[in-house]
Amino acid sequence: MQRLSFHDQIRNNKIKSFLLIIVIFIFFLILGFIISLILDPSYFFIIMIISIIFSMSYVLISYYNSDKIALASVKAKPASQTEHREFYHAAEGMAIASGLPMPKLYIMESSEINAFASGRNPKNAVICVTTGCLQKLSKQELEGVIAHEMSHVANYDIRFITLTAVLVGMISIIAQIFLRSLWFSSMRGRGRDGRVQIFLILIGILFAILAPIAAQLVSLAISRKREFGADATAVKLTRYPPGLTSALKKIKQEHISSKEKHKFAKALAPLFISDPFKRKIKGLFSTHPDINERIKKLERM
């Protein structure tokens, strides 16, 4: 079996993520073009301004408070340097390996193995792990998980996902305003043949419905690519693929046997190293890559 280079995996996943965000931007441009053909250009300009203001305001507030929101949602508490010594040692080691500042460390109560990173940049980064993560993982496995989360910080994944959210939000808002405006506008054809105008309106409605869905699917694809990228970068930091591989195998086993229910927001699921809700949704609608595929890639590195 041909070995995989973690350098190649990191580069390929970054390129694919960049191309996917271009696809979202193309959806945005096409939707805008179609609407501008139907509506008066000045009216469309107003829609654009409104969508940009609402989308940017909502996402930027979330972005600058992402760590506080995430930690509060899972009721996380600061980790203790004495009680959680192995956690601190693993984080310190990965901070040195990555050349990043030491993140703030937190613990959340859960018997399952899981972890997430948040924060708008390396200086404001936090890493939170479950109590189950500290209880069930060996030193090498814990280092693999921490390296994965440090990789999200090093790759500025929070910033990248925020940009994606801005674009998806703008597409959704523009589509909603356009669909609602059809009820209040006479939709004059501006000299265009009536049948052509009706055809454009139908195309506009169809694209306004489908574009946000398609953009969201592309956003999920970006999330999955960033997970693959974090796995590969974790190998780069630890130089020991079996550590993260073994941790993922334990997580996989928990997906089968554990029945723990979580009360925090499902919007946080993409932050975790593995979907904490253990949803059986796979493929296009999944926030994470198939765990078996992640394990196979790691075993080939």
| Active site residues per annotation | 149
* Residue written as token pair 């593995």: 274
Taking each helix axis from N to C end, the angle separating 139-154 and 85-98, rounded to the nearest 10 degrees, works out to 50
Tokens of 146: 């921490």
Give pairs for 284-290: CB < 8 Å, separation 24+.
Answer: 284/217, 284/220, 284/221, 285/217, 285/220, 286/220, 286/224, 287/220, 287/223, 287/224, 288/223, 288/224, 288/227, 289/224, 289/227, 289/228
* Residue written as token pair 């765990």: 291
Nearest of 162, 151, 160 to residue 116 by alpha carbon: 151
